[in-house]
Structure 1
Amino acid sequence: MTQTGTTQTGTTHTGEPGRGRLAIDSGVASRLTGVPESARTVEDQGFDGCWAGETNHDPFLALTLAAEHTSRIELGTNIAVAFARNPMSVASLAWDLQDLSHGRFNLGLGTQIKPHIEKRFGMPWSEPAERMREFVDALQAIWSAWQDGTRLRFEGRFYTHKIMSPMFTPEPNPYPAPKVFLAAVGERVTEMCGEVADGLLTHPFTTRRFLDEVTSPMVQRGLDRSGRARAGFQLTSPVFVVTGETEQGFVEAAAATRRQIAFYGSTPAYRKVLELHGWGDLQTELHDLSLRGEWETMGELITDEILATFAVVAPVDEVADGLLDRCAGVIDRAVPALPTNLSAEAKSRIVADLRST
């Protein structure tokens, strides 16, 4: 399951600011051999859920193992690449995982970028917002056919599903259809997410101000068009965390997070986040350095102010308060990227602090 740079992630429920409860989500080991123990550990530490990403391993396989070896935590893909597959194959995977996990599975999907879809997966790419909308609509039609026995007659611009004979129809699921979360950065996909999805998966390279002033209004426009309330929608966001049990550990965590922020900041697609804060020129400088492979130098350009804008920077006993401040009123599920050198005891302490608030 997922790791972010040199950090790992984790989840727990606390008093959620404004709309119920805040979930603090986690990732576990990426190699399949480590998933059972890692998933059990996440659950034992009090976290509420974990996500598996599609980087160098298949997330559905990891979550199958996690479902077998846990009983309480929610499980989700963050993300599975939708356009590398088709709605029927994804519907089947999600359906079986929802059954295996006893209703704990969330399906998180992302578009990926055109070169990867066409040159890595050998699949077609076009109109990502429209294609993803149709992908979600097709999923719902397929699940409805399986659950309610309705005739499958889905025919869109990109996907067609009109045959569902009894031999290929799974048994009705005793649990509701999986919730569908979509990863989004651009305006069209983010608004579409508000229209058709159960939740949004934001990119790690974001700030509270960007969520307040850019992301949330886009989601709300989509919700308004679909006539849905914000209370029924979940915004999930990774949060960088800089902390440490020793001064050296703190310094190492800060350096690793600076490098991660610099790496994301070098990408032209994320320039608008920096521009919102008046740091647009930094993106150009970071991009030029990345082309020369000067990764260490890039990290040195991330000042303390920039670090504190993108990350919760706090001693271990103040991390919970920092996370709650960062999430209040906008983030429903947080994925804190805790330093990998943080002890299990320190992670459990942060979880306990979150639960006590």
Structure 2
Amino acid sequence: MRIGVFHFPTDYGIGIAELARALEDRGFESLFVCEHTHIPTSRRSPFPGGGALPKRYAHTHDPFVALSFAAAATRRLLLGTGICLVPQHDPIVTAKSVASLDLLSGGRFLFGIGAGWNAEEMENHGTRFETRFQVMRERVLAMKALWTREEAEFHGRFVDFDPVWCWPKPAQRPHPPILLGGETDHTLRRVVAFCDGWIPRAGRGDFDPQDAMARLRRAAEAAGRDPASLPVTVFRGPTEPAALAAYREAGIARVLLDVPDLDRDAVLRLLDGYVPLLAAAGG
């Protein structure tokens, strides 16, 4: 099992390039960055975590720009979006960003995706909350066409374009892994329908890795997919060695630990405290 981190890259916290170098130097596998394009001031959509919305949500760098800096500062570290809010992105522009980052990083990109929870935020991008999952699906399928075909076209309800040329193509074939976030059975059906992996959140101690793997296995087999081809990345994983061992034994592929939006010195101290967990995870 591999250990990475997730982080909100902000304009006031540790620099993304320094964080990436520190992770690679300490032996972490991956860096996933969170995203919000902006935060509407209305606050009509309640924060899923409860209480006031943390400051970092309104201060994140663009994920593809941030990961480009991280890629340039490292050689082996995997680079992921955790998650990219696909309903808020033009699929042609995003396909080019993904392909460019994957190619320039030497095939190190992992495309974590989701539909989002902030209705006002996605409405500002022209997406209705009620259809966000349908929009996400069509945009992912359209991007797959752009990555894999010399002349790509797509005709759907939300995405529609005639044959186009779009380069570069990603370094990874047929494209970078697409990992879908969420915990519901609906999420699992989407994972097995058009994705390459699953990113459930560990939550507040109620995540059962054995149950999660069993649910994924049932969904994959029902869809005629090999469960082994759909690795599981757990978001906000535990920091106790015994819990990590249970995740490894269940077959979890990757655990992402939280690196908060703190200054350089605080983050580096936190990473040093996480290092012993690498051995506990066996990765």
TM bucket (normalised to shorter chain) is 0.7 to 0.9
Name the counterpart of 1:275: none
Q: Name the SS of the counterpart of 1:30 in structure 2.
A: coil
- Contact 1:117/1:124, CA 8 A, preserved across alignment: no
TM-score by length of structure 1 reads 0.62
2:203 is matched with which residue: 199, 202, 205?
A: 205
Name the counterpart of 1:116: 120
Matched to 2:95, the amino acid is: A
TM-score by length of structure 2 reads 0.77
Q: How many residues align?
A: 251
Partners of 1:134 and 1:343 in 2: CA distance:
40
- Contact 1:25/1:49, CA 8 A, preserved across alignment: yes
Q: CA deviation at 1:221?
A: 4.2
Q: CA deviation at 1:326?
A: 3.6
Partners of 1:152 and 1:119 in 2: CA distance:
28
Provide structure 1 residue ranges, at least 5 long, that are not aligned to the other structure: 1-21, 242-311, 313-318
Name the counterpart of 2:26: 45
Indicate how the Cα distance of structure 1 residues 343 and 188 shifts in structure 2: closer, same or farther if over 3 A, else same: closer
Correspondences of 1:284-303 after superposition (within 5 Å):
none
Question: What are the Cα deviations for residues 252-273 of structure 1, in whole angstroms up to 9, with x where unaligned?
Answer: xxxxxxxxxxxxxxxxxxxxxx
- The sequence identity of aligned pairs, in percent, is 24
Indicate how the Cα distance of structure 1 residues 194 and 206 shifts in structure 2: closer, same or farther if over 3 A, else same: farther
Q: CA deviation at 1:118?
A: 4.1
- Contact 2:245/2:280, CA 8 A, preserved across alignment: no
Q: CA deviation at 1:69?
A: 0.5
Partners of 1:173 and 1:238 in 2: CA distance:
25
> Which is bigger in relative contact order (C-alpha 8 A, separation at least 6)?
2
Indicate how the Cα distance of structure 1 residues 68 and 154 shifts in structure 2: closer, same or farther if over 3 A, else same: same
Give the structure with higher Rg (CA). 1
1:333 is matched with which residue: 242, 249, 254?
A: 254
Name the counterpart of 1:154: 154
Q: Name the SS of the counterpart of 2:164 in structure 1.
A: coil
Correspondences of 1:303-314 after superposition (within 5 Å):
312=239
Matched to 1:34, the amino acid is: G
Q: CA deviation at 1:51?
A: 0.2
Partners of 1:79 and 1:216 in 2: CA distance:
21
Task: Give the number of the structure whose residues are more often helix, by fraction.
Answer: 1
1:178 is matched with which residue: 176, 179, 193?
A: 176
2:194 is matched with which residue: 193, 196, 217?
A: 196
Partners of 2:118 and 2:272 in 1: CA distance:
43
Q: CA deviation at 1:174?
A: 4.2
Q: How large is the Cα RMSD of the aligned pairs?
A: 2.7
Higher alpha-carbon deviation: 322-331 or 43-52? 322-331
Higher alpha-carbon deviation: 46-55 or 325-334? 325-334
Question: What are the Cα deviations for residues 313-344 of structure 1, in whole angstroms up to 9, with x where unaligned?
Answer: xxxxxx33431124421421111337868555
Partners of 1:230 and 1:128 in 2: CA distance:
26
Partners of 2:171 and 2:247 in 1: CA distance:
37
Name the counterpart of 1:263: none
Q: Say if 2:273 is the partner of 1:346.
A: yes
Correspondences of 1:127-142 after superposition (within 5 Å):
127-142=131-146
Q: CA deviation at 1:353?
A: 4.5
Matched to 2:75, the amino acid is: S
Indicate how the Cα distance of structure 1 residues 129 and 221 shifts in structure 2: closer, same or farther if over 3 A, else same: farther
2:232 is matched with which residue: 226, 230, 235?
A: 235
Question: What are the Cα deviations for residues 224-281 of structure 1, in whole angstroms up to 9, with x where unaligned?
Answer: 244221111111112454xxxxxxxxxxxxxxxxxxxxxxxxxxxxxxxxxxxxxxxx
Q: Say if 2:81 is the partner of 1:77.
A: yes
Name the counterpart of 1:101: 105
Indicate how the Cα distance of structure 1 residues 175 and 157 shifts in structure 2: closer, same or farther if over 3 A, else same: same
Higher alpha-carbon deviation: 43-52 or 32-41? 32-41
Partners of 1:59 and 1:240 in 2: CA distance:
21
Q: CA deviation at 1:189?
A: 2.5
Partners of 2:115 and 2:32 in 1: CA distance:
17
Provide structure 2 residue ranges, at least 5 long, that are not aligned to the other structure: 36-56, 261-265
Q: CA deviation at 1:59?
A: 1.3
Q: CA deviation at 1:173?
A: 4.2
Q: CA deviation at 1:77?
A: 0.1
